[in-house]
Amino acid sequence: MNDLSVATPADPDPQETAEWRDAFAALVATHGAERARQILDTLAASAREQRIGWQPELCTPYVNTIPVDAQPAFPGDLAVEERLASLMRWNALAMVVRANHSYGELGGHIASYASAADLFETGFNHFFHARDDAHRGDLVFFQPHSAPGVYARAFLEGRLSEDDLAHYRQELTAPAGAQGLSSYPHPYLMPDFWQFPTGSMGLGPISSIYHARFMRYLTHRQLLDCDARKVWGVFGDGEMDEPESMSALTLAAREKLDNLVWVVNCNLQRLDGPVRGNGRIIDELEKLFAGAGWNVVKLVWGSDWDGLFARDTTGALARAFATTVDGQMQTFAAKDGRFNRDSFFGQNEELQKLAQGMTDEQIDRLKRGGHDLVKIHAAYAAAAAHVGQPTVILAHTKKGYGMGAGQGKMTTHSHKKFESADLIGFRNRFNLPLSDEQATSLSFYKPADDSVEMRYLKAHREALGGAMPRRETACDVVPVPDIAAYANFALAAEGKDMSTTMAFVRLLGNLLKDKALGPRVVPIVADEARTFGMANLFKQV
């Protein structure tokens, strides 16, 4: 396998190195992790003072940031939540496949939500707070290609009907009483549903940063109490290559926007192939976000791996992961347990011993962190509680999770049609209560209102303020000032020339004087406000 680590010179004195390692281990065992961090910080400061040319590595091992003993107790019913996530997956799949049966190349995406379903559901069940009398509501930016999963949840909640789902991407042909569902989140197309447009890659990330910043502004100016509110964003790893995704990272850190949490769905695949076939996108993003000043939480492996890590006393797993690139990870996702036993655990004797006693099926079921509800909840809870920095959660998932032969394949992003055997296989994989006929006919499934699943779903959303996404327009309508009140200088120019900049500054100054509109004007100037003659306006804002 490819070794991505930087080559280090041979150790001239292994015995002395071992003594230093033993001493540090004794420090941790005797005085704890906090004291160990203090010593390391002191040594790092000393290294900088003595200019020895050392700098810290921004990339941590390819394991979970949150250790098992630091995980909070899971507050829900795992079995019920897994069943609900399976239902969301099915209805999302059925919606897209049925649409493409109606119109051959209608489009839509299945594999993205298949990889992100558990990330979404953990947020919906435990973290995404809607607006109610006691809470002004969180803002959530949803990965656009995963929109079918949000529609699937709204269907179970009773906010969308079967007719609505049957007209996904068919707004113009929806019959009376039904609404067509837009391809991607967009409030113009669905004004009572989506909070934000995210369908142009990169639009969601940069918008989420500025919304978080503006909420902090409202709180600091005592205009609106937003302290309890969070801005959540679920985005794709390929989306991080968009300039807009990266351009405001340092602003978020500089402003200490701890009301902002990003969840990057690292399924390692974009439309045209691997995100980083010969590298590791999770490590790359960790260095980028850490360097920008964000708190980084790596969510790499599921609970099934905990026992393996506990038995691995020599660090064999971490070393193996350090030499495995994303292209190989994609191959492991697309293959079965036998292949993964031979190709990954078969690399050396240490790994072989770790896999002893495991069946091929158990190896095949080893989850990545983004598919494990317990691990996801731990990461979300840590992010929500973190103070002083924005947080990014790098969640390792499989593109097309559970899609049988499509899982992890380079073609899965565009996979929109299924054979009968594939549909029955999907039903079996997720233990769905569907007959063969219901599965092959792509019937939508909704449990009875008094079922355990429906009561659970509704109770958890009620505890978080109700259903979401939900867009409300309850704000007052501010009357538009008469044009003569703010632009008379242009209406009665009498042949006088005026630069565009000067005209804008005069217009803005007049708007600020308007008693109704003026207090609501918030100029956001990146630079050159004084150059453009706006200094006199500062005291009016």
CA distance 263 to 370: 10
Please give the model's pTM, rounded to 2 decimal places. Answer: 0.88
Domains of the chain: 14-56 (no CATH), 69-302+368-463 (3.40.50.970), 313-366 (no CATH), 483-540 (no CATH)
At residue 194, the pLDDT reads 94
Write the pLDDT tens digit of every residue in 222-242: 989 999 999 999 999 999 999
Tokens 């790994």: give the residue: 351
At residue 124, the pLDDT reads 98
Cis amide bond preceding 274, omega within 30:
no
pLDDT over threshold 50, residue 2? no
> In this structure, is the dihedral angle defined by the CA atoms of residues 359, 361, 362 and 367, taken in order, positive or negative?
positive
Q: Are the C-beta atoms of residues 64 and 299 closer than 8 Å to each other?
A: yes
Write the pLDDT tens digit of every residue in 330-388: 999 999 999 999 999 999 999 999 999 999 999 999 999 999 999 999 999 999 999 99
Write the pLDDT tens digit of every residue in 416-470: 678 899 899 999 999 999 999 999 999 999 999 999 999 999 999 999 999 999 9
pLDDT over threshold 70, residue 499? yes
- SS3 readout for 158-190: CCCCHHHHCCECCHHHCCCCCCCECCCCCCCCC
pLDDT band for position 143 (50/70/90)? very high
Nearest C-alpha neighbor of 326 from the set 361, 368, 374:
368
